Amino acid sequence: MKLKFTSLEIDGDLLPHEKNEIDQFKELSFYIYESVKDADYIDLEIDDKIINLLSFLTTKLIEGITDNIYASIFENKGAKYFSGDISLIISEVLTYATLHSLYKVNFRNIIPFRSVKYLGTIVDAMIDLSKEEELQRKLGANRGFLFINIRASMTPRSYYIVDKLAKSLRNLEIVRYPNDYGLLSIIIKDGETIKEDFIFIK
Amino acid sequence: MTNCEKISLALLYAWIGDSEKSREISRECVENLKDSAFEIRRKIKEIKSKVDEDYLLPKALREEGIESEDLVKLALYELSRRIYIFSSISEAEEYKGIRYAITKSGYKSVIKGFCEICKGYNIKKLNNGYLVQLEGIIYGEILGDITKEDLAKLLEELR
């Protein structure tokens, strides 16, 4: 399946951490949202056949994900509602599949933490950078962790996305600060396709 | 991160229904991290109560000695505990080092498997389905029934 993909890098020092700084996560999220919204995208091809095997990493007991992606994105829904559980699963597998397609990430090196996110001090997933050469090249580091937060919306509203972005960034900083790496993955239904934005925090 | 790096393996075994191996790995991880997880949790609680604003928490944690690794340890402990508690009682089949399980519904067989020594990407397209292997993770869907012997042949070609 084809996705519209954009990516952006931001400096971790831009985010406020100290008392003499102002809590500007909301404003920063708005800038991020604005910059990825109209950014040039590339067409990214995801191999449909690897999507179903990704269900070993997902948070909820849902199988047959490929069918669900096609049903949610490409079919007329009529009076039906989008399922939150399904969009959660879709966002997870598409993020992991993209990491594999673009940076050759081995799925076995991904540790999914979403099922224990209630701890409040951890993100959706983590990758040990020392095992992933392409990601090392991308981030310019050969060690450390990449912490991943994933957000999805099938009925996107700008204020909602900005709000969730700010929340995700705050959450990411708890575990990333100061020397590790972060990735915010935003999956949005955009008409009859999916748009995926990767925001790297270095 | 001690032996808990293998935790994805526990997830894989749980996925194919090999609860024995999954519980073995997760139990080891729980035992390893139990003491430090309790201590980390206690410290976080203490620091959280001192911080007035959410955005100040990351720095406050680091200043009090809670590093990224500690937060990861705590999450690993909680994840392994969940895997250990909630793994169902099921068994997987084995064929020449490949652990696998077949789930049969009325019209379809779903094959999930794991092969420690398999590498790369390999796909087997069939008239009534497909089987794919990626870095040792195996998934397949076949319309109708499949016998163990037929499946063994297909798994052989996936290596």
Average pLDDT, chain A: 93
Count the domains in chain A.
1
pLDDT of res. B3:
65
Give residues with Cβ within 8 angstroms of A47, minimum separation 6: A97, A101
Nearest chain A residue to B136 by CA distance is A108
Burial class (CB in 10 A: 0-12, 13-18, 19+), A14: exposed
pLDDT over 80 at A77, yes or no: no
Q: Do A175 and B54 lie within an 8 Å CB cutoff?
A: no
pLDDT surpassing 60 at residue A57 = yes
Alpha-carbon span A28 to A15, nearest angstrom: 8
User: Is B42 in CB contact (< 8 Å) with chain A?
Assistant: no
Measured in angstroms, the CA of B83 and the nearest CA of chain A are apart by 10
pLDDT of the residue at B2: 56
Query: Does A49 reach chain B within 8 Å, measured CB to CB?
Result: yes
Contact B7 A121 (CB under 8 A): no
Confidence of residue A111 (pLDDT cuts 50, 70, 90): very high
What is the helix (H) or strand (E) element at residue B103, kind and residue range?
Answer: strand B98-104
Q: Is B97 helix (H, G, I), strand (E, B) or coil?
A: coil
pLDDT for the residue numbered A81: 87
Using a CB-CB distance cutoff of 8 angstroms, which residues of chain B are in contact with residue A166?
none
The reply to whether residue B7 touches residue A115, judged by beta carbons under 8 angstroms, is no
Long-range (24+ apart) CB contacts under 8 A made by B1-7 are: B1/A128, B1/B69, B1/B72, B1/B73, B1/B76, B2/B29, B2/B32, B2/B33, B3/B28, B3/B29, B3/B32, B4/B29, B4/B32, B4/B33, B4/B73, B4/B76, B4/B77, B4/B80, B5/A128, B7/A111, B7/B76, B7/B79, B7/B80, B7/B83
pLDDT on residue B1? 53
Establish if A42 touches chain B: CB-CB under 8 angstroms. no
Task: With CB atoms and an 8 Å threshold, state whether B68 touches A145.
Answer: yes
Of A53, A57, A173, the CB nearest to B139: A53
3-state SS class at B155 = helix
CA distance B80 to chain A (A): 10
Phi, psi angles (nearest 5°) of residue A117: -65, -15
DSSP states of A155-173: S--HHHHHHHHHHHHHHHH
Mean pLDDT of chain B: 91
Q: How confident is the model at residue A73 (pLDDT cuts 50, 70, 90)?
A: confident
> How do residues B32-41 score in pLDDT, each as one tens digit?
999 999 999 9
> Domain range spanning residue A183?
2-201
Cβ neighbours of A56 (radius 10 Å): 20
How far apart (Å, rounded) are the C-alpha atoms in residues A119 and A131? 26
User: Which of B95, B152, B100 has the alpha carbon at shortest distance from B124?
Assistant: B152
Contact call for A56 and B11, based on CB within 8 A: yes
The ipTM of this complex is 0.93
Nearest in space to A175 (alpha carbons), one of B56, B68, B64: B68
Instruction: Tell me the sheet residues that pair with B76.
Output: none
- Give B5-31 pLDDT, tens digit per residue: 789 999 999 999 888 899 999 999 999
Are A134 and A156 in contact by the 8 Å Cβ rule? The answer is no
Reported as a pLDDT band with limits 50, 70 and 90, residue A76 is confident
Cα dist from B135 to A18, A113, B93, B154, whole Å: 43, 21, 19, 17
pLDDT at A74: 77
CB–CB contact B71 A53 (8 Å): no
Q: What is the pLDDT of residue B87?
A: 78
CA distance A104 to A97: 9
The pLDDT tens digits for A123-169 are: 999 999 999 999 999 999 989 999 999 999 988 899 999 999 999 99
Does an H or E element contain B113, and which?
strand B108-115
Whether residue B4 has pLDDT greater than 90: no
Put simply, whether B149 touches A (Cβ < 8 Å) is: no
Q: Which helix (H) or strand (E) holds A200?
A: strand A193-201
**List of domains in chain B:** 2-86 (no CATH), 93-158 (2.60.40)
For B136-159, what is each residue's pLDDT tens digit?
999 999 999 998 889 999 998 888
Q: Cβ of A53 and B59 within 8 Å?
A: no
Give the three-state DSSP class for A192: coil
A55 in contact with B at a CB cutoff of 8 Å? yes
For A28-51, the pLDDT digits (tens) are 999 999 999 889 999 999 999 999
Does the CB of A43 have a partner CB in chain B at under 8 Å? no
Task: Show the tokens assigned to A100.
Answer: 């594999």
Residues 93-132 of B with CB under 8 A from A: 110, 112, 123, 130, 132
pLDDT tens digits for range B63-119: 999 999 999 999 999 999 999 998 777 788 888 889 999 999 889 999 999 998 898
Coil/strand/helix, residue B10: helix
